[in-house]
Amino acid sequence: MKIKIIPRPDDVHAVEYARKLGIKFQGDGQTVWFEQGNVLNESFHISPQTDADADIAVVIGGDGSVLHAVQSMHPQVPLVGINFGRVGFLADLEADEAYSFISQLRPETIETEARMRVQISVDGKLIGCALNEAVIVTERPAKMLQFSIIVDGIPVEEFRSDGLIISTPTGSTAYAMSAGGPIVDPKVRAFLLVPLAPFMLSSRPHLISSERNLAVQLDSDKPASLVIDGQYAGKLHNESLITVTESPEPALFINVNKNFFTKVDRKLRTL
């Protein structure tokens, strides 16, 4: 099996764990390399291969590390996360169980769960894809923005708020949950809109089928930024039109046989 290992680079414990894991996999006769630019490639005297060559990707870190890995992989590779973060909704394995599980995987029998990503375009230009969320947020504290929500070409809602979260079902347990949004089954294919600190109490989260045409227009001359999965994507201007579609390339998570709702219940009890 060909394994790409992606440790969180600024966590010495994650990097050391990755090194030990790489040694074990090599001892089993597996082909191993690390993310491009990682110093472990030099110590192992190996050259990174392309994502298309990998059977699986092993991500070591927290949810941010998983988001980074999904953003960087082309094409998407079946991945499994090993939790070195605080909560780790996207990292399904703990360090003490990871080797035992991964060493039993075979490329021909790997079961994956496709996680929907959203594709974000601004004024017709593709900006990027998000596994968790795209966030439109004011650049001036205490200054509200105004949004028009357009579904199938029809304006259906207006929000006045500090910002707007455009989330996937996977991202419903991230920023959207902190802002008062519902927890959504990741097998649902839908867009979740959650206003940040809305002016009107009647402005509630919306869950919209991904089969619909969704757009958000910024109706405000106040400066705003677009952030995709925690990474700055650019500034928006008055009448910027943000188009939201389902990405043709979902993230592929290896099934580790852990029930989503049981995991969420357990994780939330640690917060």
Catalytic residue among 10, 28, 55, 63: 63
Closest to 37 (Cα-Cα) out of 11, 67, 7: 7
For 133-186, how does the pLDDT look when each residue is reduced to its tens digit (9 = 90+)? 999 999 887 789 999 999 999 999 999 999 999 999 999 999 999 999 999 999
CA atoms lying within 13 Å on the CB side of residue 54: 24
- Ordered DSSP codes for 66-88: HHHHHHH-SS---EEEEE-SSS-
Confidence bin at 76 (pLDDT 50/70/90)? very high
Residues of the chain with CATH 3.40.50.10330: 2-115+250-268
For residue 140, the one-letter residue type is R
Residues of the chain with CATH 2.60.200.30: 118-246
Q: Is 63 a catalytic residue?
A: yes
Res. 270: pLDDT tops 70: no
Q: Are strands 79-83 and 56-61 parallel, antiparallel or unpaired?
A: parallel
- CATH fit for domain 2-115+250-268, picks 3.40.50.10330, 3.90.550.10, 3.40.1110.10, 3.10.180.10: 3.40.50.10330
182: which 2 tokens?
Answer: 């519902």
Average pLDDT, the chain: 94
Res. 271: pLDDT tops 80: no
For 205-243, how does the pLDDT look when each residue is reduced to its tens digit (9 = 90+)? 999 999 999 999 999 988 899 999 999 999 999 999 999
| Pair 198, 160: CB distance under 8 Å | yes
For 79-97, how does the pLDDT look when each residue is reduced to its tens digit (9 = 90+)? 999 999 877 789 999 999 9
Q: Give the CATH superfamily of 118-246.
A: Probable inorganic polyphosphate/atp-NAD kinase; domain 2 (2.60.200.30)
pTM of the model: 0.93
